[in-house]
Amino acid sequence: MTEFVELDVRPVLRAGGEPFSQIMGAVQGLAPGQGLRLFATFKPTPLLRVLGSQGFTHEAKELTGGEWQVDFTPSAGATGNAIAAAPAASGEAGAWPAPVREMDNRDLDPPEPMVRILAATETMASGEVLAALLCREPVFLLPELAKRGHCWRGGFEPDGKTYRVLIRIGAAQGAKA
């Protein structure tokens, strides 16, 4: 039987925060055979895919008031360390070419910015750069970009409200073109 470490991110979400790094920290801190019991204000569908790609199965149940409990159970070979590689991909050395495409997704609600950005990357050639503006840090997008072989760089603009991400299309994508 799996022992679960509980993490309640509802207060962070209610305050408008992004608990992704807190969740991934908890996943990375799991001992062998431990699972994560997550409490959230919504069903964290993108997170289900992220942890699923790391070998976790999940069982989600809706609680009262539209809140959710999700139990993430590790399967053989599951690792919470795979996500750590995503930000490292952004550190690719050398100058990047100017973006060939610019997107402003600040007025869109999640998950639409992620959906649009991933769709745009599918149409681009290896080495090309996409620039996107967002109203928050794209914590679910970044590991998905790394998984698809793309590099990224990003950060908040001086206004503190706009997150700008540059995405360099990886070689794996170029093989499709």
Residue 26 host element (H or E): helix 20-28
Region for 55 from its dihedrals, namely left if φ exceeds 0, alpha if ψ lies in -120 to 50, beta otherwise:
left
pLDDT at 66 over 70: yes
pLDDT at 7 over 90: yes
pLDDT at 94 over 80: no
Residue 91 is predicted with a pLDDT of 40
Cis peptide before 32 (omega within 30 of 0): no
Domains (range + CATH), the chain: 3-80 (3.30.110.40), 86-174 (3.30.110.40)
pTM of structure: 0.50
For the chain, the average pLDDT equals: 82
Residue 132 is predicted with a pLDDT of 96
Residue 20 is predicted with a pLDDT of 82
pLDDT at 101 over 70: yes
User: Can you tell me the mean pLDDT for 169-174?
Assistant: 59
**What residue type is assigned to position 101 of the chain?**
R
Residue 15 is predicted with a pLDDT of 87
User: Can you tell me the mean pLDDT for 85-113?
Assistant: 73
Distances (CA, A) of 120 to 44, 48, 116, 161, 170: 23, 23, 6, 23, 13
Q: What is the pLDDT of residues 103-139, one digit of tens each?
A: 999 999 888 999 999 999 999 999 999 999 999 888 8
Residue of 26, 30, 74 whose CA lies nearest to 53: 74
| DSSP per residue, 41-96 | SS--HHHHHHHHTTTEEEEEEE-GGG-EEEEEEE-TT--TTGGGHHHHGGG--SPP
Residue 110 is predicted with a pLDDT of 83
